[in-house]
Amino acid sequence: MQVQPPSLNPVIYRLFSKRGIGPQDVSDFLSWNLNDIPDLTQMIDLDRATTRLIQAMDNGEKIGVYGDYDVDGTTSCALLWHFFNMLGLEVNLYQPSRFVEGYGVHPSSIDEAVLDGVKVLITVDCGITNTQTADYAQGKLDLIITDHHRDAAPEIPKAFAVVNPCRRDEPEASTLKSLAGVGVAFALGLKIKNELAKMGREMPSIYPLLQFVAIGTISDLARMTPLNLRLTRHGLKQIPKSSYPGIRAFFAPEELNVEMMSSEKISFHVGPHINSKGRLDHPERALKQLISSTDREARENFMHLELANRDRKIIQKEVFDEARDLVIKSIARGNHLISIVHRPHWHEGVIGIVASKLVETFGVPAIVFSDSEHTGVIKASARSAGDLNMFELLQNCSDLFIKFGGHKAAAGLSMPYENLGAFIERMNAQLKAIPEPLRTKEDTFDIDVDIEEISPGLVKDLEKLEPFGPGNERPIFRMKDAKIQSYRIMKDLHVRWMFSSQKTKQNLQGVSFNYIGKWNEPNPEELFQQQNQNGLMVKFTVGINRFNGNESIQLMVDKLSAGQV
């Protein structure tokens, strides 16, 4: 029997049509059903890993969990800590410093775990390229690698078990390839739970752990496939009523008065706070927050994250302003295919965010270098633009690197400073051979709307499309007949707009953050003067402004220009 599509605002159906979602696909796209998702436990070595971990539990052997220092790694560690805690077990937690050990699992990490008496060490969100460490671990402890990154080393690490949906020998069409590292960690927990249940052991529900899956998946920019959409929806739904003090501490009480937490709140508030400590020093404070047992402990940890996030913003702005000026100078010299910039003093912890902001600003890929702790060696974060596969481009330059890793959209690398010139030449040569639409961030939108179509009903239906992310981007709308009734500049950076339609007297409020001084954008007064001659084109997303218990529709304005487009 054919499922009747739900009743939604007509604008939503125009959006679905533009995105290739037919009437027969709508119910599946909006589904919350976890019963018909792919089997998360169908990964190579998951049986082997599970058997060993149950054996360790039964024998009283100490288990350790080692995770990356970003949000995905931190939430993965927290998820497994809470999982084993449900079983009455306390596991040892380890994370590297970005500035000391660096990314991945290292021989020194194995030594530390061995000293602590750990017999089985589980990596989360890292390990797939650490073949030397896997060799080093043999005979010292059993290393179980769980990861989701590209399997790019010459061979699969010789660990006790390697669980990764992106292993070279996993099925090419596997729907599990979209999982973030925290999704793979959840699959491990699920497999252990299922096996223990088969043995007749009573098991608590691990459904609450989907809150960590939601935070890690959204923050890691994992693709919002039907699988990830459903997992994260259930996680976001639980957050407002979370029983975890460490999750509640991210939000003011009034922010929890919602049915479902928005992906935007995770992306722009929770994720940056978790990342902040790992960007500036050591990530342990964020992990401590996520495993806090009391509200007081969680609030104390969160205060440290707030201070770190404030400092991160200041440092990030200084580096971005300097990097942007370097790029503008390079544009003046000729064809601009990629932004590659280097300054020895730039803080390594923010160069990834700066690279992303350069892509947003100039629309081309960006690679930002700073000096490493080793003399003569530089480190970089790379970010792609459009549909460009940054990982493949870097792979073609791998002979210049000391090491590199990542995926299609983002990567990291280190290399001798003396190779920088050759690297820039090679990257530009590769990009010249790729058609421009495939290597640039296009100035696109989803559909045209009239101001009269922006209604509370539309906003409510848009929330049903959550969570937003790669593969399910927040819809960008365009109005071609808008008029600026007034504008106000806030803190010398942001602009508050009041729009009206050329046809009607309906007004709508909008805001453009960090608009003043934005590269290649007209200033508000220019737009205000020019609009008398032509209609104003506005590109925006739609959201809700919540203030003092009141809610109102707010346009998040990305671009404005005079004249019809």
pLDDT at 281: 87
Q: Quote the pLDDT of residue 6.
A: 76
Q: Are 213 and 182 in contact (CB under 8 A)?
A: yes
Dmax over Cα atoms in the chain, in whole Å? 80
How far is it, in rounded angstroms, from Cα 64 to Cα 62? Answer: 7
Predicted local confidence at residue 5, as pLDDT:
62
In degrees and rounded to multiples of 5, residue 339 shows phi and psi of -95, 110
Q: What is the pLDDT of residue 420?
A: 98
521 three-state secondary structure = coil
pLDDT reading at 465 higher than 70: yes
pLDDT at 158 over 70: yes
| Amino acid (one-letter) located at 526 | E
Q: How far apart are the first and last CA of the chain?
A: 44
pLDDT at position 564, please?
52
Pick the CATH number of 46-304 from 3.40.50.2300, 3.90.1640.30, 3.40.50.300, 3.40.50.10490: 3.90.1640.30
> What are 380's two structure tokens?
């970089």
**What's the pLDDT tens digit per position in 553-562?**
999 999 998 7
Cα separation, 511 vs 187, whole angstroms: 41
On the question of a common fold for 46-304 and 447-562, the answer reads no
CB 196 within 8 A of CB 159: no
- Are 141 and 163 spatial neighbours (Cβ–Cβ below 8 Å)? no
CB 330 within 8 A of CB 337: no
pLDDT at 81 over 60: yes
Which H or E element spans position 565?
none
Share of the chain above pLDDT 70, in %: 98
Element (H, E) at 543: strand 536-547
pLDDT tens, residue by residue, 184-234: 999 999 999 999 999 999 889 999 999 999 999 999 999 999 999 999 999
Residue with the larger pLDDT of the pair 292 and 517: 292
Percent of the chain that is helix, strand, coil (3-state, to 5): 45, 20, 35
Q: What is the mean pLDDT of residues 472-499?
A: 93
If you search the block for the tokens 């007509």, which residue do you land on?
A: 10
pTM of the model: 0.92
Q: Give the pLDDT score at 3.
A: 52
CA 131 to chain centre: 26
CATH topology of domain 447-562: OB fold (Dihydrolipoamide Acetyltransferase, E2P) (2.40.50)
- Cα distances from 182 to residues 123, 124, 210, 552, in angstroms, run 11, 7, 9, 35
- In words, the CATH class of domain 335-438 is alpha beta
**186 in Cβ contact with 79 (< 8 Å):** yes
Starting at the edge strand found earlier in the chain, the sheet holding 118-124 runs: 92-94, 62-67, 118-124, 142-146, 161-163
Give the SS3 label for residue 232. Answer: helix
Q: Are 113 and 66 in contact (CB under 8 A)?
A: yes
The yes-or-no verdict on residue 563 having pLDDT over 70 is no
Sheet with strand 366-371: strands edge to edge: 339-342, 366-371, 377-383, 410-416, 403-406
190 Cβ contact list (under 8 Å, min separation 6) = 40, 41, 206
Where exactly are the structural domains of the chain? 46-304, 335-438, 447-562
What's the pLDDT at 1?
Answer: 42
Which helix (H) or strand (E) is 392 found in, with range? helix 390-395
